[in-house]
Amino acid sequence: MRSPEMKSQNRRALLFLLLGLALALILMSLPLFSFEAQVYTKKSANTFVGDEKYVAAKAEAEAVAEEYRAQGFSVSLSEDVLERVNSKGKTTSLVTFTLSQSYGKNLFSLLGQGFAASKLTAALLLCLGLSAALAAAGLVGSGDLLPRYLDGRSRALRGAACVTALLALLLVPVILMMNTYAFSRQMGLHNAGLLEEGRALFFSRMDRLLFDGQMGENIEQVLSGLKYHCSGLAWLLLPAICIILLSAIQIRFGAIKGTLLRGLLYFFVVVVCLVTLYPYYVMLITAFRSNAETLDMYFLHMFPTKWIWSNLTDIVRRGVPRYLLNSLFVAGGATAIAMLCGIPAAYAMARMQFKGKKAFLGFVIMSQMFSPVVLLIGISQLMNTLHLNDSIVGLMLINAAFNQAFAVWLLRGTFVSISPEMEQAALIDGCGTMGALTRVLIPMAAPGIVTALIFVFINAWNEYTISTVLISTASNRPITVGITQFSSFNMIEWQYLFAASLLATIPVVILFMSIEKHLTAGLTSGGVKG
């Protein structure tokens, strides 16, 4: 089966593989990260560049530099000129000579140093090595590029090579960011006097990394003013790994274009999911942080330093269970009313012929168009007259009415999709219309009914505007209004706000996920949204 053409293709793929690997390793051993420490500064007196005071100061600085160089340090001398005009109108300069020592470090020097990036670098090396080895093994095992000729073993090997190469690709930006985080940010905090926890550990690690642990006590002073710089070359690691990945893909699938599109698709999906989940992540971590941490700009961690579970007990004391219960009543009551009114209407619409059917349909759909907000004034007036102001029952009725359209619409669709033969049989057997509905149709339409039920429930649970207007007594508030008590005008207790939000969100999100599949079907016909 092995044509010479395929063999040459394979050789080329192998060559590319080795090239990518070599490139990656070379890049990793270059001094990609540099630290600049100021070891000596000399300020000249008021002077002009070039006069004797300047020359003297410069000579002094250079002498110090020579001393350092004699000891084997690589230092560089820079001068900073500050011009200013004195009271007599003469321009003088203040020259600052700075002797700075730069420490270049490559990725390998991070290994075993205990930084977050250290372990990841080890993982990166492992991934690179594995992926190259797997790809090569898959290549040697079978000579053909076309997947249909590949045996199972080499297919698996090449697939694994792709996965490990992808992993390596992901690790690179993570490592670079981890480094920036560890060095730039922590050092910045140290310089601003804000680094408190993990201080000693950080110092000892930096000491080991930069000075082989020689600095000891002095490290704190040396680190002040230390500047971190990541070379742009580091990003070249990405294309290098891409070469490995591509040659692994070429060996695996033969076609690069389709695979790239696939990669792009996954990338897109992952980005969309991450953006979608981001506010929920913020909600989660903030709900368990202390008040001081929620207001801390220098908060360093992706997760709370200490998970404050007492936030939950605090919100319990502040009345949140009561609000949740109110919401449960409002949403449950609204759902019950909407279903009790909606099922008969939907049944009539689906099974009976009568004049004005279309008009009723129009009436129902029209009512769906008006969110209660634009009618707020009318509704509050109406509720005043009915004495349902500030009552949970009032909220139930309003929510039921404004969700009626969807309930009828979706239920009608479900009923229509079920053949009437079963009910007719039940009718012939002597059941009344009511019996046919409750004993035959409702059990058969259960999935559609549950979907409508949950949807109305969620809408009522999440409703906010009408409740703010109608409810004035604190103990009658549903949760959406209840959480606003944590954000008063001058102080927002974010941790309580989000802890309560979390409790209000989790159940409905789970409910919603359970009906997502059924909802898609009823969507475009019914038209629904919270």
Partner 1 sequence: MNTRLNRNKWEPYLWLLPSMLLIAVFVVFPILIVFKLSFSYISQGGVIGGFIGFQNYVDAVKLPAFKTVMLNTMWWVISVVGLSTLLGFIIAMVLNQKFRGRKIARSILVFPWATSLVIQASVWNYIIKYEYGNLNNVLLNLGIIQQAINWRSSYQIEFIWECAVGIFVTVPFVTFCVLSGLQSIDGSLYEAATMDGAGFWGKLRHVTLPMVRPSLTVSTVLNIIYVFNSFPIVYTMTKGAPAHKTDTMITYLYMLSFYERKKGPATALSVIGFLILCVCAGVYMIGVMRKEDEQ
Binding to partner 1, residues 426-465 (CB under 8 A): 427, 433, 458, 461-462, 464-465
Exposure of 264 in the CB half-sphere (CA atoms within 13 A): 6
Contact pick of 276, 419, 473, 488 for partner 1 (by CB under 8 A)? 276
Q: Tokens 């601003």 identify what position?
A: 192
Stretch that binds partner 1, among 12-20, 132-140, 397-405, 441-449 (CB under 8 A): 397-405
Q: Select from 81, 260, 248 the least CA-distant residue to 160.
A: 248
CB atoms near residue 472 (< 10 Å): 10
Q: Tell me the closest approach of the beta carbon of residue 361 to partner 1, in angstroms.
A: 8
296 binds partner 1 (CB under 8 A): yes
268 binds partner 1 (CB under 8 A): yes
328 binds partner 1 (CB under 8 A): no
Distance CA 390, CA 370 (A): 22
Contact pick of 370, 417, 425, 474 for partner 1 (by CB under 8 A)? 370
194 binds partner 1 (CB under 8 A): no
Q: What are phi and psi of 288, to 5 degrees?
A: -115, 20
Nearest-5° angle of CA 183, CA 186, CA 188? 95
Contact pick of 93, 184, 290, 485 for partner 1 (by CB under 8 A)? 184
Stretch that binds partner 1, among 13-21, 72-80, 112-120, 363-371 (CB under 8 A): 363-371
408 binds partner 1 (CB under 8 A): yes
Based on CB atoms, which residue is closest to partner 1, 73 or 512?
A: 512
Based on CB atoms, which residue is closest to partner 1, 25 or 469?
A: 469
Contact pick of 105, 119, 185, 322 for partner 1 (by CB under 8 A)? 185
Q: Tell me the closest approach of the beta carbon of residue 328 to partner 1, in angstroms.
A: 14
Stretch that binds partner 1, among 21-29, 61-69, 231-239, 515-523 (CB under 8 A): 515-523
Based on CB atoms, which residue is closest to partner 1, 138 or 413?
A: 413
Q: Select from 515, 521, 522 the least CA-distant residue to 454.
A: 515
29 binds partner 1 (CB under 8 A): no
Q: Tokens 């009658």 identify what position?
A: 476
116 binds partner 1 (CB under 8 A): no
Q: Select from 128, 478, 111, 175 the least CA-distant residue to 327.
A: 478
473 binds partner 1 (CB under 8 A): no
Asked if 456 and 527 count as a contact pair (C-beta separation under 8 A), the reply is no
Contact pick of 3, 78, 381, 472 for partner 1 (by CB under 8 A)? 381
Q: Select from 126, 127, 125, 122 the least CA-distant residue to 162.
A: 127
Which tokens is 428 given?
């012939």
294 binds partner 1 (CB under 8 A): yes
* Torsion angle, alpha carbons of 401, 405, 407, 412, to 10: 140
Q: Tell me the closest approach of the beta carbon of residue 165 to partner 1, in angstroms.
A: 18
Based on CB atoms, which residue is closest to partner 1, 141 or 319?
A: 319
Q: Tell me the closest approach of the beta carbon of residue 187 to partner 1, in angstroms.
A: 11
Q: Tell me the closest approach of the beta carbon of residue 205 to partner 1, in angstroms.
A: 18
Contact pick of 15, 41, 194, 266 for partner 1 (by CB under 8 A)? 266
Q: Select from 244, 234, 233 the least CA-distant residue to 166.
A: 244
Q: Tell me the closest approach of the beta carbon of residue 70 to partner 1, in angstroms.
A: 37
Based on CB atoms, which residue is closest to partner 1, 15 or 281?
A: 281
163 binds partner 1 (CB under 8 A): no
Q: Tell me the closest approach of the beta carbon of residue 94 to partner 1, in angstroms.
A: 27
309 binds partner 1 (CB under 8 A): no
Q: Tell me the closest approach of the beta carbon of residue 246 to partner 1, in angstroms.
A: 20
Cα-based distances in Å from 326 to 315, 316, 331, 379, 510 = 15, 14, 8, 20, 20
329 binds partner 1 (CB under 8 A): no
3-state secondary structure (DSSP) of residue 485: helix
Based on CB atoms, which residue is closest to partner 1, 112 or 530?
A: 530
509 binds partner 1 (CB under 8 A): yes
Exposure of 9 in the CB half-sphere (CA atoms within 13 A): 18
Contact pick of 116, 167, 328, 469 for partner 1 (by CB under 8 A)? 469
**Using CA of residue 132, residue 135, residue 141, residue 143, what is the dihedral sign?**
negative
272 binds partner 1 (CB under 8 A): yes
Which tokens is 400 given?
């039921």
Total of residues contacting partner 1 (CB under 8 A): 107
Based on CB atoms, which residue is closest to partner 1, 6 or 519?
A: 519
Mapping DSSP onto H, E and C, the string for 100-153 reads EEEEEECHHHHCCCCCHHHHHHHHHHHHHHHHHHHHHHHHHHCCCCCHHHCCHH
Distance CA 425, CA 433 (A): 11
CB atoms near residue 90 (< 10 Å): 10
Which residues are CB-contacts of 158 (< 8 A; sequence separation ≥ 6)?
134, 135, 138, 139, 150, 248, 251, 252
Based on CB atoms, which residue is closest to partner 1, 131 or 467?
A: 467
Q: Tell me the closest approach of the beta carbon of residue 251 to partner 1, in angstroms.
A: 21
Question: Which H/E stretch holds residue 103?
Answer: strand 91-105
DSSP 79: E
Asked if 97 and 61 count as a contact pair (C-beta separation under 8 A), the reply is yes
